[in-house]
Structure 1
Amino acid sequence: MRLRSLLKCLGVGRSTVYDRINPNSPRYDASFPKPIRLSGAGGKGGAVGWLESAVYQWLAARVNEKASLIDRQRADQ
């Protein structure tokens, strides 16, 4: 999945994606799928993409976390 498709799938902006994969960002998410280099050798530059299956698994995990949180809040009431 290329960046444009990822942004559309997640409904977020480019900077949000790069914040999620940057360990120095306060918005870093270690569970966020890592990009895979599609072209270019070694260093910086070149095309990257994300595995669709990893993106959908990450989304499913987020949905499950949110559902668990809602269930716990209801149980506490």
Structure 2
Amino acid sequence: MHERENKPKRLIRFPTLVERVGLKKGAIEDRLNPASPRYDDTFPKKIKIGKNSVAWLEEEVELWIEQQIQRSRSV
């Protein structure tokens, strides 16, 4: 079994997302906006957790970071 399969699911809020991915608010919003030239369909999607609240699945954020590392090192 993989380590990720045993790990409990955890949601992270926007300030933690900013800290984890190293991008500012506007850069993250661009990656989430299909109309933006910087749209990234691999970027983790937000999850609605309340009427005015969203979060991201920590596991998806970590996987995206790993993909960015691999992509940058394979060039």
Q: TM-score, normalised by structure 2?
A: 0.82
Distance 1:53 1:59 in 2: 10
1:32 corresponding residue in structure 2: 43
Counterpart selection for 1:20 from 9, 31, 34: 31
Distance 2:71 2:22 in 1: 19
Alignment of 1:53-72 (within 5 A): 53-69=59-75
Tell me how many residue pairs correspond in the alignment.
64
- After the TM superposition, which of the residue ranges 6-15 and 22-31 deviates more from structure 2? 6-15
- Residues 7-37 of structure 1 deviation map (CA, whole Å, 9 limit, x = unaligned): 0111211111111000000110000000000
Percentage identity across aligned positions?
36
Task: Name the larger-Rg structure.
Answer: 1
Q: TM-score, normalised by structure 1?
A: 0.80
Structure of greater relative contact order (alpha carbons < 8 Å, 6+ residues apart):
2
- Structure 1 runs of 4+ with >3 Å offset: none
Which one has the bigger helix percentage? 1
